[in-house]
Structure 1
């Protein structure tokens, strides 16, 4: 049976783990040729293996999204085979330290988080822009419930700023690129259980409990809970959707 992403070439940053890995698997199941872009080669190989088991097609390229020249080089390499028609900007990090803490640590966290979560999104998008215009493609950016709220998560000024920026970038690009047939949307995950945040969840049971109290569905999310909206936004099912953020937070923002 044909998948709803047959014929598409999808590049996914941070595809070697967590949400990115789940999106890569879902895209491959729906027929897309997936390109995993990640600095984590071991994780990328794991994603490749999972996709192969499911009968999908994927390749992996090492990419540090902070390196603008490397982003352009990777985009040019991919274009020699087939242009990208789906881009997922998923790569990101988070650290939670008070802005009133150690001066050097706070500045380092700010630089690291913004350089990956925000500058990296720009670097990758700009590198693939001509391919996406050529294919009348679609961009899916991974935001957060912290694209809107902050009070529930103190000590994360840099992360909150970066995720507000993801939403602003999404809306600005949607307005500018609509004339080229390029759709740009975002997903706002809630608390998603991944290996990357397992230690943080274990260290902060009160935070997890607070999130669950404000989540009508009463559970944390899984990467597959984000993969579904990512497939929708990449497919023609969402052909009249652009400039939007699909919240996948278990209802957190309703309480």
Structure 2
């Protein structure tokens, strides 16, 4: 039987990149997937591709920074799709500016990154929490190598802080929800080639080299490299795993 048969899985930031890959992977393993993205058109197109490949998918527009919208979408999903048993908090942004730039830029980066990458995880999780507790569900949060380290590239302290926060939130929630049978884990991607960093990769090959020189596998990751860990953490294969982070970083943190 497929790993995720009879599950309904919600994936945020599912219109492209890692989120889209995870949604497609879950659908292949039998889940009915709900793709959420601030870009409604991208989410709808990704859902169509899944449906055309024989999977079951729905999409909704969602700005994870709006608690009211998260609650409203959770109700829509319950009414139109069913009871959610898997949540993947993937939506996020990255900006590579430090603390010493223009004051307005520093403040804007902090507010936007924390609002999406950290508070957004809280907002979506809280909105779906009732359904996840009822289903003894699974939550998978997308962290980063920057849940542990500040990488050796120009990189926003806000991004590092947000991903440290995601890991802390994962552990705290796992401890609180364990008694309800809800498992909460995270994935720590390394340097993954996604639309989020496409412009940076094209304009600054030296930055890419810094990452690859520090990665034992010697290559950048692809969104599909995150699908396996996401399937493991959402399925019964990880039935005794909670409060953990699975690193998918090509070995970055080993050196």
Give the TM-score range, shorter chain: over 0.9
Displacement of 1:76: 1.4
Moved more, 43-52 or 170-179: 43-52
Q: Does residue 74 of the first structure (1) align with residue 73 of the second (2)?
A: yes
Equivalence for 2:162: 162
> 1:6 matched to which residue of 2?
5
The one-character-per-residue Cα deviations of 1:20-72 (angstroms, maximum 9, x if unpaired) are: 00000000000000000111122112211221232100000111000101101
2:228 and 2:151 map into 1 onto residues whose CA distance is: 28
Conserved? CA contact 1:99–1:155, under 8 Å = no
Counterpart of 1:120 in structure 2 is 120
Counterparts of 1:49-128 in structure 2 under 5 Å?
49-80=48-79, 81-128=81-128
Between stretches 153-162 and 181-190, larger displacement belongs to: 153-162
> 1:235 matched to which residue of 2?
235
Q: Secondary structure at the match of 2:196?
A: coil
In structure 2, list runs of 5 or more residues that go unmatched. Answer: none
For normalisation by structure 2, the TM-score amounts to 0.97
**Bigger shift: residues 240-249 or 190-199:** 190-199
2:151 & 2:201 partners in 1: Cα distance?
18
Question: What RMSD in Å do the two structures reach over aligned CA positions?
Answer: 1.0
Determine if contact 2:147/2:188 at 8 Å carries over to the other structure: yes
Q: What residue is the counterpart of 2:44 in the other structure?
A: 45
Shift of 1:151: 4.2
168-177 or 200-209, which deviates more: 200-209
Indicate yes or no: 2:193 matched with 1:193.
yes
User: SS where residue 94 of structure 1 aligns?
Assistant: coil
Contact (CA 8 Å) 2:44, 2:58: kept in 1 or not? no
Runs of 5+ unmatched residues, structure 1 = none
After TM superposition, the runs of 4+ consecutive aligned structure 1 residues lying more than 2 A away are: none
2-structure distance, mates of 1:155, 1:174: 29
TM-score normalised over the length of structure 1: 0.97
Contact 1:66 1:115 in 2 (8 A): yes
| Whole-angstrom distance in 1 between the partners of 2:223 and 2:185 | 18
| 1:211-235 Cα deviation digits (max 9, x unpaired) | 1111111110000000110011000
> Is the contact made by 2:48 and 2:57 (CA closer than 8 Å) also made in structure 1?
no
